[in-house]
Amino acid sequence: MKEMYPKNGRVILHVDMNSFYASVEMAYDPTLKGKPLAIAGNVEERRGIIVTCSYEARKFGVKTTMPLWEAKKLCPQLIVKSPNFDRYRSASMGMFEILRQFTEQVEPVSIDEGYVDISECHEFGSPIEIAKSIQKRIMATLDLPCSIGIAPNKFLAKMASDMKKPMGITILRKRDVPIVLWPLNTNEMHGIGKKTAEKLTTIGINTIGELARGNEIQLKALLGINGTRIKERANGIDNRLVDPESVTDFKSIGNSTTLPKDATNQQELFRVLESLAETVSVRLKRKNVLASTIGITIRFKDRKTITRSKKLANPINHKDDITMVAKQLLLKNWNGDAVRLLGITGYDLVEHDLAYKQLDLFSYEKDAKKEPLLKTLSTLREKYGENIIENAGTHKGDPDHNVGTETSFNKDFLRSFMNSNKEE
């Protein structure tokens, strides 16, 4: 299969769940399938806004961000449900776990989409075969549709996944860019919002092709560094790597393992969770972050896979704390059948310095005793800088001890790039 992959380049997939919230509701309640369905906030109020809707609803003109009253006017038979974020998060965890069955090179970019670098996945077949396999597994396991773009970089993969929905698979090569992308208007390009497209028209740029041939000095004067970036994208150039630990709005650090043999012994499963918790704890500490949600993945002998999570009152990154939550989740959700794979993932990560602890009746007394020490540390940091004293374990045996700065840099860069995709 190696001949199906480029010798020097990359093969990137962009997996995009179709009408995610609505699709999850349909998977949960099959009687909703084939009906116009919308998820909206403030369902009981006319001022509610459509969060997402099914493709059946879209046929009537219902759109995301549309006021609920307007949507019901267009489609009187519209079924409207309130968001169930726990349900969506659980489905998302299951989706990303399926992606990680092929490679650890998975970068979540939101709850319902992510990039996968399959450049070294020859044993699973050709890129198109892998995409088909992912699509089938997500549908068979979670009953959820997705579209997948296959390309040599992240930008082209994202553009490709948008071309066929629902349940599409699209290949977009760099040589296809002049034919496929250049005739499109700039507002159809990922990374360009309505306001940016309007600015481009002031210098005579209306299509992606015109942007690709645009004057770089003029673009930089109009849009700053983003002008250079979007011109590169218009030419199919994007050197960003798939980063499994990228700091994004949807953040997670996890680890899973396939057991040497299917196990039904509770203590054996506990030992596996303890080992996984230690690995996750080390990775969280290296990134100088804590997890606000802990999730586990259980795959049974028959390959049925479930994911369950628990939102925590206080963010954690210590092995014992992670182990305790993971064991609770296992005991609550394991039916006694033989287990083939276990996984633990920390979600909703917060940087250590930004983490807060919610005091309760049980922790108040202990925290109160620490207050004089915390005040002293605060005074020292104010006088000598934030890094004058750090928690034990931040540098422990870790050559990459500067990860706190790295995390902040990654977050600042991502925030800047994400903002470039939004309307000013």
Distance separating alpha carbons of residues 237 and 228, to the nearest angstrom = 11
Distance separating alpha carbons of residues 384 and 158, to the nearest angstrom = 45
Token readout for 220 is: 């930089």
321 annotated to bind ligand: no
Helical pair 225-234 and 216-223, crossing angle rounded to 10 deg: 130
Token readout for 150 is: 């296959």
**Distinct helix (H) and strand (E) counts, the chain:** 15, 12
User: How many residues are listed for the chain in this entry?
Assistant: 424
The C-alpha angle 320, 324, 327, rounded to 5 degrees, equals: 135
Q: Which of 113, 232, 351, 386 is catalytic?
A: 113
The C-alpha angle 169, 174, 179, rounded to 5 degrees, equals: 80
Distance separating alpha carbons of residues 211 and 227, to the nearest angstrom = 9
Cis-peptide into 260, omega within 30 deg: no
Helical pair 266-286 and 319-333, crossing angle rounded to 10 deg: 140
What's the number of CA atoms in the CB half-sphere (13 Å) around residue 413?
9
176 annotated to bind ligand: no
Token readout for 253 is: 């650090």
Known catalytic residue at 113? yes
CB 124 within 8 A of CB 262: no
Mark residue 386 as left, alpha or beta (left: phi above 0; alpha: psi -120 to 50; beta: remaining).
Answer: alpha
Helical pair 20-28 and 85-99, crossing angle rounded to 10 deg: 100
Distances (CA, A) of 69 to 27, 40, 42, 78: 26, 11, 11, 11
| Phi and psi, residue 315, nearest 5° | -60, 145
- Would you please indicate which residues are annotated as catalytic (active-site) residues? 113
Residues forming the annotated binding site? 16, 112
Residues in the annotated binding site for Mg(2+): 16, 112
